[in-house]
């Protein structure tokens, strides 16, 4: 007899809802707890999981395996090639281990819900109990609805309801204890599971040893590393978060997104810690930096809520159906220039090169490049959404889809389509001295002063050309006009 916890995007021991329940159940029954993780290369491929993210997940699993082993809990990791086979294989493993209770945390994407539904049926047939519980959000999808019973489709009223809900129910931020130690004979009983190793995947094999080293030092994996980063951020930078978070040349944000995405840190722990650091010891009021940071984590909850309530966003459809009729461009040269950071717009190019090098991009820049792709280049926003997933260490369907909906004005945000970011103004405002551009676009290092934002028109064109910096692939004013016309046509407006 045993109780099993199935890990997915919750790769931690502390503050893990399903893992905690599994441990309690195992203890009450006096049986061991076994943890498992299924590596699905087909899932990685279907979900466009970036090699840098797969590498991060596998490194996190290594750390998790060691953390669990300290509690005499085995983490068994197995590759299942065909994702359709996952429920079947999970059932086989449960039977093999003589387990009669399975715990897992819910994922809200459509494929994942279908997989879980299959597993629920399989468990029922075999007389195995299964608990799938909410964990990934502070306020889970389904908990909030407006006075009239409708689902919120706009962030601000949703956030007010989120804050009121959390403030009225402080226990939402109580953290779940890590699992208890297994009975001492578990190690002997499951020797083969303890001895199993973390497999490689095709995505992971695609990254070079130089990249492996770079990502390893840029993005230390595991929950201790996540807690260390959270601690440092709340000690040194959260106070200045509101003022500094929009400047990509600074380390003004937490860089914790990769940990939230694979679950080596819970959103609950983050908000709990922020609250503890607030002068009021409450969620609202107090330090503006803390307030703003909490509201950013709430964005993550919001986009999961959108995904759960409007699941068609998982099927390549815009949140606003009326935006389906926009005629997009599919100019491959433009797309390549965007991907490679060679558009001739320094802030866009710096951002794309940061993404390609680090697997991460600053939020302000994600908005700038997103708007540039959808509005200036009029490329189908799904091409950008896809490229982001293929390159981000923190790739998360809900947040990425939400961010692209925001950038292309096709999503939940109420901003009208005619709000088009001007990349030159954004650059001057948020990379005032051009330090971010100089870091990521070394050809422009020698361009002095404000000319860095626009080296051909306002700077030394000869110098930029000599350094091999590309000319603008589109003109700002003309693309803006084209975009407005095209959106109007698509929406059937005069
Ligand atoms: P911080 O500023 O420290 O914020 C703390 C946490 O709050 C983040 O780690 C993240 O979990 C959450 N958060 C912050 N801003 C947002 C936001 N706008 N939407 C949702 N959650 C937010 N975030 C992802 O985690 N995965 C993605 O795939 C992703 N794709 C994006 C695509 C586009 C086009 C845009 C505009 C934004 C995207 N974001 C995504 C949101 C945001 O850019 C990142 O969460 C943030 O840059 C991560 O850096 P950080 O951890 O330093 O954030």
> What are residue 99's DSSP bridge partners?
2
Regarding an ipTM greater than 0.85, the answer is yes
* 156 annotated as a binding-site residue: no
Alpha carbon nearest to ligand 1 atom 4, residue: 296
Residues 6 or more apart whose Cβ sits within 8 Å of residue 11: 37, 57, 60, 61, 64, 223, 262, 263, 264
The domain made up of 207-309 has a fold known as: 1.25.40
Structure tokens belonging to residue 315: 């099927």
DSSP state, residue 323: G
Q: Pinpoint the alpha helices (H) of 310-410.
A: 332-340, 346-358, 363-371, 381-391, 397-408
| Pocket residue to mutate for ligand 1, from 264, 296, 319, most atoms within 8 A of Cβ | 296
Structure tokens belonging to residue 389: 């997933």
CA–CA separation, 432 and 436 (whole Å): 9
b/e string for 292-309 if b means 16 or more Cβ within 10 A?
ebbbebbbbbbbbbbbbb
The domain made up of 321-488 has a fold known as: DNA Cyclobutane Dipyrimidine Photolyase, subunit A; domain 3 (1.10.579)
By CB atoms closer than 10 A (0-12, 13-18, 19+), residue 171 is exposed
CA of 197 to the centre of ligand 1 (A): 32
| Distances 136 to 54, 239, 303, 311, 473 between C-alpha atoms, Å | 19, 25, 12, 17, 41
Largest CA distance in the chain: 76
CA–CA separation, 3 and 19 (whole Å): 10
Ligand 1 binding pocket, CB closer than 6 Å: 245, 253-257, 260-261, 296-297, 299-300, 303, 363, 366-367, 370, 388, 392, 394-396, 399-400, 402-404, 406-407
Residue keyed to tokens 């959106």: 487
CA–CA separation, 359 and 22 (whole Å): 34
Tens digits of pLDDT across the chain (494 residues): 899 999 999 999 999 999 999 999 999 999 999 999 999 999 999 999 999 999 999 999 999 999 999 999 999 999 999 999 999 999 999 999 999 999 999 999 999 999 999 999 999 999 999 999 999 999 999 999 887 888 999 999 999 999 999 999 999 999 999 999 999 899 999 999 999 999 989 888 889 999 999 999 999 999 999 999 999 999 999 999 999 999 999 999 999 999 999 999 999 999 999 999 999 999 988 999 999 999 999 999 999 999 999 999 999 999 998 889 999 999 999 999 999 999 999 999 999 999 999 999 999 999 999 999 999 999 999 999 999 999 999 999 999 999 999 999 999 987 887 889 999 999 999 999 999 999 999 999 999 999 999 999 987 899 999 999 999 999 999 999 999 999 999 988 75
| Pocket residue to mutate for ligand 1, from 307, 394, 396, 408, most atoms within 8 A of Cβ | 394
- Give helix 155-168 / helix 288-309 axis angle, nearest 10°: 110
User: Is 257:394 a contact under the CB 8 Å cutoff?
Assistant: yes
**The pLDDT value given to residue 494:** 58
CA–CA separation, 382 and 394 (whole Å): 18
- Which of 178, 240, 130 has the alpha carbon at shortest distance from 24? 178
* 108 annotated as a binding-site residue: no
**The pLDDT value given to residue 148:** 84
Q: Where are the domains of the chain?
A: 1-135, 207-309, 321-488
CA of 343 to the centre of ligand 1 (A): 24
Class of the 1-135 domain? Answer: alpha beta
CA–CA separation, 278 and 234 (whole Å): 10
| Distances 123 to 9, 100, 133, 258 between C-alpha atoms, Å | 21, 9, 16, 32
User: Is 402:411 a contact under the CB 8 Å cutoff?
Assistant: yes
Q: Pinpoint the alpha helices (H) of 106-240.
A: 110-126, 155-168, 186-189, 191-195, 202-206, 209-218, 223-236
- Give helix 397-408 / helix 288-309 axis angle, nearest 10°: 100
CA of 140 to the centre of ligand 1 (A): 18
- Which of 423, 303, 412, 307 has the alpha carbon at shortest distance from 374? 423
Alpha carbon nearest to ligand 1 atom 11, residue: 257
Task: Look up 404 and say whether it is catalytic.
Answer: yes
**The pLDDT value given to residue 245:** 97
Q: Which of 309, 331, 356, 363 is catalytic?
A: 363
The DSSP H or E segment spanning 451 is none
CA of 257 to the centre of ligand 1 (A): 6
């Amino acid at each position: 007899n045993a109780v099993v916890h199935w890990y997915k995007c919750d790769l931690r021991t502390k503050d893990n809802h399903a893992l905690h329940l599994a441990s309690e159940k195992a203890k009450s029954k006096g049986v061991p707890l076994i943890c498992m993780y299924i590596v699905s290369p087909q899932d990685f491929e279907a979900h466009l999981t970036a090699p840098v993210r797969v590498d991060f997940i596998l490194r996190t699993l290594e750390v998790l395996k060691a953390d669990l082993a300290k509690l005499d809990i085995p983490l068994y990791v197995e590759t299942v090639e065909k994702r359709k086979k996952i429920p079947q294989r999970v059932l086989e493993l449960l039977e093999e281990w003589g387990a009669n209770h399975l715990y897992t945390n819910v994922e809200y994407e459509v494929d994942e819900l279908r997989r879980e539904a299959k597993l629920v049926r399989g468990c029922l047939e075999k007389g195995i109990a299964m608990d799938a519980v909410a964990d990934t959000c502070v306020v889970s999808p389904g908990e909030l609805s407006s006075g009239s019973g409708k689902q919120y489709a706009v962030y601000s009223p949703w956030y007010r309801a989120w804050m009121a809900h959390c403030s009225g129910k402080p226990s939402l931020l109580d953290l779940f204890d890590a699992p208890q130690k297994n009975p001492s004979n578990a190690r002997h009983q499951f020797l083969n599971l303890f001895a199993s190793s973390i497999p490689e995947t095709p995505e992971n094999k695609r990254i070079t040893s130089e990249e492996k080293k770079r990502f390893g030092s840029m993005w230390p994996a595991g929950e201790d590393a996540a807690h260390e980063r959270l601690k440092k951020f709340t000690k040194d930078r959260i106070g200045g978060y509101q003022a500094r978070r929009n400047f990509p040349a600074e380390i003004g944000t937490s860089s914790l997104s990769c940990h939230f995405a694979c679950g080596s840190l819970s959103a609950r722990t983050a908000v709990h810690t922020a609250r503890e650091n607030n002068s009021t010891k409450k969620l609202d009021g107090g330090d503006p930096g803390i307030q703003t940071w909490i509201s950013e984590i709430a964005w993550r909850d919001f986009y999961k809520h959108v995904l759960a309530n409007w699941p068609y966003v998982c099927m390549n459809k815009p949140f606003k159906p009326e935006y389906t009729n926009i005629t997009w461009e599919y100019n491959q040269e433009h797309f390549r220039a965007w991907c490679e950071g060679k558009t001739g717009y320094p802030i866009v190019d710096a951002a794309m090169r940061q993404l390609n090098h680090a697997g991460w991009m600053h939020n302000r820049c994600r908005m700038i490049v997103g708007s540039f792709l959808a509005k200036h280049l009029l490329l189908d926003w799904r091409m950008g959404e896809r490229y982001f997933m293929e390159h981000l260490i923190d790739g998360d369907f809900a947040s990425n889809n939400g961010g692209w909906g925001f950038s292309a004005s096709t999503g939940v945000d109420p901003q009208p389509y005619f709000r088009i970011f001007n990349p030159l103004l954004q650059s001057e405002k948020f990379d005032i001295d051009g330090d971010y551009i100089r870091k990521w676009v070394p050809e422009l290092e020698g361009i002095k002063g404000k000319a860095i934002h626009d080296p051909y028109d306002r700077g030394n064109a000869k110098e930029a050309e000599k350094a091999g910096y590309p000319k603008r692939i589109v003109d700002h004013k003309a693309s803006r006009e084209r975009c407005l016309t095209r959106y109007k046509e698509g929406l059937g407006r005069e």
